Amino acid sequence: MKALIISDNHGDQQILEQVTQHWQGQVDLMIHCGDSEMEPTLPVMQRFDVAVQGNNDWGLDYPLEQTVVKNDRRVYATHGHRYQVNSTLTPLMLKGQEQQAAMVCYGHTHQLAVTVENGMLMINPGSISLPRGQYARLGGTYAVVGIDDGHFVVDYYNRDNQPVADLHFVFNR
């Protein structure tokens, strides 16, 4: 299974158009981790198999969290603001375990992050439009994750759909 994960575009529709058009037909799942600040009825938002509500998505009809199964892999997505992701991943990890997720996707911090906890991939794609932290200089990032029986393969991309060489990771499951 291959999934595109993006978050925190904060109304930047053009970048979502560019990224989703580039990856359409190349991934099995497209996930938006919230703070799109865009109506779920917009055609670009309809391309996402999963889209959740962020803390800036006031009045928009997105679920707070979603669990989906694709190619026998359970994926849990939330924005993260209700799980204290600015200071700890423990509540989110416990929620992922409760959902029996192979992968937990979240946003909110605007900083990319990836780790494996108890065989579960925990991934933040960073903000595509308003990045913070060590990789803010890239101007925005998103992630593409491949999952097979033995590995998670994670690649981060910049706004030009180019892979970031030092942000390629392979984790054992």
pLDDT per position as a tens digit, 100-156 = 999 999 999 999 999 999 999 999 999 999 999 999 999 999 999 999 999 999 999
pLDDT per position as a tens digit, 62-104 = 999 999 999 999 999 999 999 999 999 999 999 999 999 999 9
Fold of 2-172: Purple Acid Phosphatase; chain A, domain 2 (3.60.21)
Compute the average pLDDT of residues 34-40: 98
Extents of the domains making up the chain: 2-172
Q: Above pLDDT 90, what percent of the chain?
A: 98
pLDDT per position as a tens digit, 8-28 = 999 999 999 999 999 999 999
Q: Is the pTM of this model over 0.95?
A: yes
For the chain, give the DSSP string.
-EEEEE---TT-HHHHHHHHHHHTTT-SEEEE-S---S-TTSHHHHT-SEE---TT-TT----SEEEEEETTEEEEEE-STTTTTTT-SHHHHHHHHHTT-SEEE--SSSS-EEEEETTEEEEE---SSS--STTGGGS--EEEEEE-SSEEEEEEE-TTS-EEEEEEEEEE-
Average per-residue pLDDT for the chain: 97
